[in-house]
Amino acid sequence: MVISGKDAFVEGVPCTTSWSASFVAGIQPYVCSATNGGTGIVEGNINWSGSMSGLGPNPPMLPGKEYAFKGVIDMLQADQLALDGTVLIENVSIQFPIAGGGPITWTASFGVQGSLESSSTGAVDPSSKLAISGKDTTVKIDPGGTPFVVPDVQSVALAFSAPSVTYVDGGVTKRTEGNLSANLTFEVLNRDIYQTGYQPNSRNVVHIEIGDTTYWLLDQIVFGGLTNFNVNVANRAIVGYTVSGQWSAVSQLDVDNLGQLKSPAGVDWFGTDP
């Protein structure tokens, strides 16, 4: 039966917008004297991977962690098909579309521990509040000292990664968790490339604020570069550039302190409150 994806969701993931899965055999070519000028192919190990996306600034899964995954294809058909398995989250990204004013969105990619199995077991689509617009997002640097609210930010992106190491068990691919990293990027409209607060090689605590008391805590960000500074006479585009930085798990070079990552929901992705 042909169906659309309109009644799909991922169990335990509020406001799912999509999910996907890939099921691939790592087939291998070979050539030898017995292939008579052609190329032979041998069967390979199986590797499952996938992704899921949703709305909001609080992705419900952390990179480098395992989760029970149930991707529901359609609960309204009699067979109630789903794919079940254990997944290891490898990448999570969050987009804050300030200029566009659309909802804050996230995407997570994963590798499967073995295989996803077809299932007809029921599941529940969790309730969710209304989506949160990205229009009021602000970037605040040094919030505990002399706060600097970056003016005229047009968009913000956070990218978290914990690349796995793979191995094969019984012909299927499995994974062990990797080290956590995080990157911050934001677009600003500004004619001054020497703006204080985010110069290359500076480090500081950063808040990505989506409300008066709600924010992503990034302790600390080491700013790496200002790029795409473009002054265009022909199309009279507003002058601006891209600011990028990377999260450091060591917050100070001269003190044995660890950094911290905390979501707006108060979930510690790394470290804890001092």
Query: Residue ranges per domain, the chain?
Result: 9-123+130-266
| Amino acid identity for residue 2 in this structure | V
> What percent of the chain is modeled with pLDDT above 70?
95
pLDDT tens-digit profile of 169-223? 999 999 999 999 999 999 999 999 999 899 999 999 999 999 778 999 999 999 9
For all residues of the chain together, what is the average pLDDT?
Answer: 92
**Average pLDDT in the 244-252 region?**
89
How far apart are the C-alpha atoms of 26 and 168, rounded to whole Å? 11
Query: Does the structure show a pLDDT above 80 at 257?
Result: no
Identify whether the C-beta of residue 224 lies closer than 8 Å to the C-beta of residue 245: yes
> What percent of the chain is modeled with pLDDT above 90?
78
pLDDT tens-digit profile of 3-57? 788 888 899 898 999 999 999 999 999 999 999 999 999 999 999 999 999 999 9
pTM: 0.92
